[in-house]
């Protein structure tokens, strides 16, 4: 009887833990936003920008796959940090149909904007189905611009001495990094925005030295402790999340995403990153 009771209790304990893990992965962690604070040393940074902040928001994924009121609430929390710059690194929607345009308009009313500058780039999902619908990318770009977000499509824009270089999406229709990287000024304080970190392995960088802010991976959304996530939408599986020194003067930061493709996360909390600028 004692053995039978032990086995029974063990089974119920396992079932209880499994149920809790399922609820946690589905209902808790996907909405447990973390504000990650990091230092960002940059060459040639003007004195007036030392200690200013750059907030990175990535992979918003407005759509029908989770309650996007969570995004609105997260934006409101992010606004309390009063960032100097805000950089959006792509995938504003999980596109299915025109409904996402209305949903995005609703969310963008609460978009976080920097006191000095606000920029963004497109991700693959912003190109619609099969990443091949230019009209979807055009519509989303216009919505972002109408809400104070400067969209960079293989372009650069300087704000008070900090130059943002924005690459269009690797999987989209207009990927042309050489267009802008051939003309960047290496004596400026530069930050590159590049949705898909696989671009870091392409021969397009023209001896660039500095920070690259990416998203796209969501950190894998689920992973066992101390192990690489089993599912990553990149060729280079070392590109998971966080800061990666590329060993040639480039520092890559991969944001874990604020939104999700599917409402499930385990050991990979959603993230908004706040960088404090320093001079190298």
CB 50 within 8 A of CB 276: no
CB 61 within 8 A of CB 102: no
What is the model's pLDDT at position 18?
A: 53
What is the model's pLDDT at position 10?
A: 47
What is the model's pLDDT at position 276?
A: 98
DSSP 192: E
Q: Is residue 159 part of a domain?
A: yes
Q: Is residue 21 part of a domain?
A: no
Dist. CA 182–CA 192, nearest whole Å: 13
Q: Is residue 19 part of a domain?
A: no
Hey, what are 203's tokens?
């021969």
Dist. CA 17–CA 95, nearest whole Å: 35
Computed on alpha carbons and rounded to an integer, the radius of gyration of the chain in Å comes to 20
Question: In which domain, by residue range, is 253 found?
Answer: 32-279
Q: Is residue 13 part of a domain?
A: no
Whether the pTM exceeds 0.85: the reply is: yes
Q: Is residue 257 part of a domain?
A: yes
| Domain count for the chain | 1
What is the model's pLDDT at position 13?
A: 47
CATH code of 250's domain: 3.60.21
Q: Is residue 153 part of a domain?
A: yes
Q: What is the pLDDT of residues 45-97, one digit of tens each?
A: 999 999 999 999 999 999 999 999 999 999 999 999 999 999 999 999 999 99
Q: What is the pLDDT of residues 98-115, one digit of tens each?
A: 999 999 999 999 999 999
Q: Which residues of the chain have pLDDT under 70?
A: 1-21
What is the model's pLDDT at position 15?
A: 38
What is the model's pLDDT at position 61?
A: 98
């Amino acid at each position: 009887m004692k053995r039978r009771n032990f086995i029974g209790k063990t089974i119920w304990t396992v079932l209880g833990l499994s149920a809790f893990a399922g609820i946690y992965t589905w209902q808790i962690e996907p909405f447990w936003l973390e504000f990650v604070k990091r230092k960002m040393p940059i060459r040639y940074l003007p004195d007036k920008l030392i200690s200013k902040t750059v907030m990175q928001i990535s992979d918003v994924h407005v759509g029908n796959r989770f309650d996007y009121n969570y995004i609105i609430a997260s934006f409101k929390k992010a606004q309390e940090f009063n960032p100097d710059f805000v950089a959006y690194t792509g995938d504003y929607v999980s596109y299915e149909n025109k409904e996402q345009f209305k949903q995005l308009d609703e969310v963008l009313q609460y978009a976080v904007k920097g006191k000095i500058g606000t920029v963004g780039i497109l991700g693959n999902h912003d190109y619609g189905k099969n990443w091949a619908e230019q009209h979807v990318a055009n519509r989303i770009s216009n919505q972002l611009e109408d809400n104070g977000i400067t969209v960079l499509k293989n372009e650069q824009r300087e704000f008070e001495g900090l130059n943002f270089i924005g690459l269009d999406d690797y999987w989209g229709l207009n990927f042309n990094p050489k267009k802008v990287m051939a003309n960047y000024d290496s004596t400026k304080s530069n930050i590159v925005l590049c949705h898909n970190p696989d671009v870091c392995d392409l021969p397009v960088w023209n001896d660039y030295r500095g920070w690259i802010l990416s998203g796209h991976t969501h950190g894998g959304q689920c992973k066992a402790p101390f192990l690489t996530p089993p599912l990553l939408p990149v060729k280079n599986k070392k590109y998971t999340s966080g800061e990666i020194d590329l060993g040639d003067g480039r520092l890559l930061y991969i944001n874990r995403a604020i939104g999700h493709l599917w409402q499930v996360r385990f050991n990979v909390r959603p993230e908004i990153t706040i960088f404090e600028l320093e001079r190298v």
